[in-house]
Structure formats: structure tokens, C-alpha cells
Amino acid sequence: MKKISFFLMSCLFIVSCQDETNNFTQLASGYELYQKNCANCHGDDGLGLAKLIPPLKNADYLLSHKDSLKSIIHKGIQVPIVVNGITYTSPMPAMPKISASEAESIIQFILIKFNQTSNK
Ligand code: HEC
């Protein structure tokens, strides 16, 4: 009996460690993908650029559009939007080459690092 419970505990431990590793890997690749595809405009710290590019850090628009973030990455935004009280009118380009799982990693990175939240 003892052996079995030790075995079960080990399994649980390994499974929970794998989960942590997966989250960590996703965050690390999210960071790299963000640097490559988004930081040019939105900045390393997600602060945006004056009244031209909206912030992703503590951004009310982003938090109220959590479910559309993947589609924003893939299709861009072609209409004016209001972020934290400021109206932005430059369009954001569509990025259809970013895969669904890459987009998911970028989104996790932005939510966790810039907004202290996640979509899980
Ligand atoms: C060429 C510059 C550019 C790039 C590259 C870019 N964006 Fe944007 N992004 C913008 C602009 C400009 C807006 C505002 C669009 C508008 O007002 O119509 C915007 C808006 C947004 C918004 C909604 C507004 C907000 O602040 O919450 C999100 C979310 C967003 N971008 C995420 C991303 C992500 C993620 C990437 C990388 C995959 C990215 N953007 C790459 C320029 C860019």
C-alpha cells in the first residue's frame, strides 16, 4: 500500500512539474514572439507610443477584449479605438502568419507580464 501511494505521489509530482514547465516555456516563447512581432510598435514594456500606438500595459481595451485578442493579432484593427481614454486612429496591420498557438503564447505573455492576469 505504501509503495502504491508513493508511486501515485510521484506521478502527481511529475505531472504538476510538467505543467509548470509548460507554462514557463509558453511564457518564454511568448516573450520572444512579442519582441519579434509586437515590440517594434507597442514597445518592450508595452507602453505604446504617445497618441500613435496604444499601450498593452494596464490597457482597458485589451482587458475588455480578452476573447478577441487572437483575432486582433490575425486581422489587425482598421477602425479608431479608445484605450484608457485616448482615441487611436492609426491602423494595426493584420498578422495572419502568426499561428494560433504562437498567438496564444503572445497573449499569455501580455496578460501576465503587462496586466497581472491570465486568460486561463
Ligand atoms: C505596425 C505597428 C503595430 C504592430 C507591429 C502591432 N501593433 Fe497592435 N496596435 C497598433 C496600433 C496603431 C493599434 C491601434 C489600432 C487602431 O486604433 O485602430 C494597435 C492596437 C492593438 C491592440 C488593442 C488596443 C490595446 O491597446 O489594447 C492590441 C491588443 C494589440 N494592438 C496587440 C498587438 C500584438 C499582440 C501585436 C503583436 C502580435 C501587435 N499589436 C503588433 C500597432 C501595432
The pTM score is: 0.89
Centroid of ligand 1 to alpha carbon of 6 (angstroms):
50
User: Which among 119, 115, 118, 120 has a CA at the least distance from the CA of 58?
Assistant: 115
pLDDT digits (tens, 9 = 90+) for 45-103: 999 999 999 999 999 999 999 999 999 999 999 999 999 999 999 999 999 999 999 99
Give residue ranges with CB within 6 A of ligand 1.
37-38, 40-42, 53-56, 59, 61-62, 69, 72-73, 77, 79-81, 83, 88-93, 95, 106, 110
Question: Which amino acid is located at 42 in the chain?
Answer: H
User: Which among 70, 75, 77, 76 has a CA at the least distance from the CA of 101?
Assistant: 70
The highest-level CATH class for domain 2-115 is: mainly alpha
